[in-house]
Structure 1
Amino acid sequence: MAGEDSTRHWHQVRQIVRPTLGVLALLLVINYVLLPQIAGARKTIHLLSGVNVWWLVVAAAAEIASLLAYVRLSQLTLRWPSLRFRTMSQIDLSTLALSHVVPAGSLVGVGVGYALIVRAGVPRSQAVTGKTVQTVGSAVILNVILAVGLCAALVLHGSDPLYGPIAAAGLVLLVSVAIITVLVLRRQQRIIELLTRLLSRLPHVDPAVGQRLVSSLADTLRTLGRDRTFLRQTLLWATLNWMLDALSLWCSVRAFGHALGPVGLVVAYGLANVAAALPFTPGGLGIVEGILVPTLVAFNTTRGIAILGVLAWRLFSFWIPIPIGLACYAPLVARGDHTEEPEPDGDEAEQTEPGAREPRT
């Protein structure tokens, strides 16, 4: 039965992914063949001939380190000691790859990641809570980094029409997270009642799921406030994930001869990634490039270097993880070790009590 389940699941994913791969192949050609022509054929050839390969190697290494920091953040927020780092790496790479090849990729990726985490043996409520804390926490950290960059840019470089809407969206996110946190902690029972009432109207949905989710989320939030080590580690790994990715972008631009200043890097990177979170295209494809290039140009990067630097960074952060992640996805589905939600034994239950810390692997 588990084998049939895995085969059906893999077949469904192939049905979703296959039509998109042709479009991605076309976009790959447009990105790396046609787009550089904007800078001019002669200038592009000159820049490519003078590229510093070692900076590209450092960019690739920084991107790998960023992905590993994200995996560690996933493992930390799930708080399930038996979930190995290797398994979590496969899950996160699979999720990343699928989010890069399907429309509304970020939303699909979250759902697939949750399913794979449950299959790996993490209880459903804990999987939802862990991914929620990770996703929202990462978004908050990104918006804080962008806010700092925007403040510095406004002081040093003046205003820009692009800053306002993105800064407003970030502010709305931060306020929303604060309000939801307060409501869950102070009005937990009321939230459970409202969510249960809403879920009871939906077909094939168990209203008790809402109660378990809110209770688990409230416990995790209390743990974040009470367990300062857990909070510090969560903030540290989320920040490292973003900053190492930004470093990869800096190195990619530097490889073509331009050294970005810290303000220009943070603002360009932050604006592009906040906008990329909107589920319009897979992985923000086209949106990221469309924001990064003109923003880098606004911070004194020549157009040719901006285009080639962004394309090099997107090769490491967007395109290369696709085949790697899809290769990781097949064995995870075929394994089929856990199809039902496991019940933690005594030791595991004790380790997942609020306040318990997951050991570093």
Structure 2
Amino acid sequence: MAITFRGLVRRWGARTVWLAITAIGLYVVAPGLLTMFGAWPRLATVEPQWFVILAVLELLSFAALWWLTRIALAPSETAPHPRLGWGVAATGQLAGNAASKVIPGGAATGAVVQGKVLIAAGQPGGAVASGLTASNLLSSAVLLLLPVLTIPALIIGPPPADQLQLGLVVSLILAVVIVAVGFTALTWPRVVAAFGRGIGRVGQVFTAAITPQRVADGLLAERDRIAVAFTGRWWRAVVAAAANRMCDFAALVAALVAFGAHARPAEVLLAYVVAQTFAIIPITPGGVGLVDAGLTTLLVVIGVPADTALIGTLLYRLFSFWLPIPLGLFAWAGWRIAVPKAA
């Protein structure tokens, strides 16, 4: 059957657009990446224990995601299916994570790859789709909650800038607070509705398109999707989501402390949150370049010397972004080899 022009456009049009956007984005961020990689030799000055600390923190961050996936796909009486093993959960997340960083399309591409691995392991397609969606929503909610939790610390002032290492303690405290807030939101929807109406009233000042009830309804809808996916397992789900974000933030703190940086932990947390939002923008795969440049700039703004901000960001991104890519590719290759044997 002849292939029509319209068929070619439908098949390759969107891909061509994504590739063009990615190429332009990479061209724009290339100078910043070259500058950052130029600081690579300075990593040789880092004491070995910091490499171990960052590796452990990032491993815990990824393990929390594996745990969250297992919680979301746990079998129940109404939806019986094979229990998801740790190996499959890790393989799916690592492969999806690598795909989202090297293939245009970002998180959407990674979710497709992760879903394929989970479905091939015997998980129902519907459960995988709803479970991954709920997990992403919960993880995003935790990220958006962090700036709100830092407001009191920014107003009060302490801890001082020369005690950035306290950020490791701050991450533990925030994790406990996140769990409490998350469980409250999942248990009492009226709290979510009231919070949504409050945001709506503030937004209504800037545009009439935003109404308190509309914002409240939107938050309740997202809350319900998360609540249904994690019914009876809310505590564990929120703990896993909080652990994922806080271990990753602790890795950034450790990378800065390794080079003797001085900054207030609350301000570093705000820089971390803003930089993480850059990764959501699908201009470059995984936000490569955007996150690096954005995080470095934000750290300089809060008082970290430019050289320290640059090398600290490089060390943090080495463990949080670059090293997981080959791990994910190995996971994907191993899965592709094992699937035919299991069939």
**In the aligned structure 2, how far is the partner of 1:182 from the partner of 1:241?**
24
Q: Which SS does the other structure have where 2:102 is aligned?
A: coil
Shift of 1:64: 1.1
Could you tell which deviates more after superposition, 48-57 or 297-306? Answer: 48-57
C-alpha separation between the residues in 2 aligned to 1:82 and 1:263? Answer: 39
Residues 60 and 75 of structure 1, relative CA distance in 2, 3 Å threshold: same
- The alignment's TM-score, normalised by the length of structure 2, stands at 0.67
| Of 306, 311, 314, the match for 2:314 | 311
Q: 1:280 to 1:29 in 2, by over 3 A?
A: closer
- Deviation by residue 1:206-241 (Cα, 9 ceiling, x = unmatched): xxxxxxxxxxx86x73474x62xx111100010000
**Structure 2 equivalent of residue 221 of structure 1:** 227
Question: Shift of residue 335 of structure 1?
Answer: 3.2
Aligned to 2:64: 69
Q: Does 1:323 align with 2:326?
A: yes
- Shift in Å, 1:183: 4.9
Give the 3 Å change call, closer, same or farther, for CA 125–273 of structure 1 in structure 2: same
**Which residue of 244, 248, 254 corresponds with 1:251?**
254
Partner of 1:279, secondary structure, is: coil
Q: List alignment gaps of at least 5 residues for structure 2.
A: 1-14, 76-81, 159-198, 204-209
Offset at 1:70? 1.0
Q: Deviations over 1:160-202 (max 9, x none)?
A: xxxxxxxx9xx99xx98963564589xxxxxxxxxxxxxxxxx
Aligned to 1:202: none
- Cα pair 1:63 1:244 within 8 Å, conserved: yes
| C-alpha distance in structure 1 between counterparts of 2:154 and 2:248, whole Å | 20
Give the unaligned 5+ runs of structure 1: 1-14, 158-167, 186-216, 341-361
Distance change in 2, residues 1:25/1:184 (3 Å): closer
Task: State the shift of 1:316 in Å.
Answer: 0.6
State, as a whole percentage, how many aligned pairs show the same letter: 26
| Matching residue of 1:267 | 270
**Count of paired positions:** 267
The alignment partner of 1:269 has SS state of helix
The residue that corresponds to 1:128 in the other structure is 129
Correspondences of 1:176-255 after superposition (within 5 Å): 179-180=217-218, 182-183=220-221, 221-222=227-228, 224=230, 227=232, 230-255=233-258
Give the SS at the match of 1:100.
helix
Greater Cα offset, 266-275 or 23-32: 23-32
Q: Give the deviation of 1:35 after TM superposition.
A: 3.0
Which amino acid letter does the alignment assign opposite residue 242 of structure 2? T
Give the conservation status (yes or no) of the 8 Å contact 1:63–1:316.
Answer: yes
1:66/1:49 CA distance change after superposition, 3 Å: closer
- Match status 1:281 vs 2:284: yes
**SS in structure 1 of the partner of residue 303 of structure 2:** coil
1:49 shift after superposition: 6.4
Aligned to 1:163: none
Partner of 2:55: 60
Equivalent residue runs for 1:99-138 within 5 Å:
99-138=100-139
**Two-structure CA RMSD over aligned residues (Å):** 3.8
Q: 2 CA distance for matches of 1:126 and 1:338? A: 25
Give the Cα separation in 1 of the matches to 2:30 and 2:55: 21
1:336 is aligned to 339
Aligned ranges for residues 66-105 of structure 1 at < 5 Å?
A: 66-80=61-75, 82-105=83-106
Residues 1:290 and 1:184: Cα distance change in structure 2 (over 3 Å): closer
Q: Which has the higher contact order (CA 8 A, sep 6+)?
A: 1
Residues 1:76 and 1:48: Cα distance change in structure 2 (over 3 Å) = closer
Alpha-carbon offset, residue 151 of structure 1: 5.4
Q: Distance in 2 between matches of 1:119 and 1:264?
A: 43
Please state whether the residue corresponding to 1:144 is helix, strand or coil: helix
Runs of 4+ in 1 over 2 A off after TM superposition: 23-37, 47-53, 149-157, 175-185, 220-224, 333-340
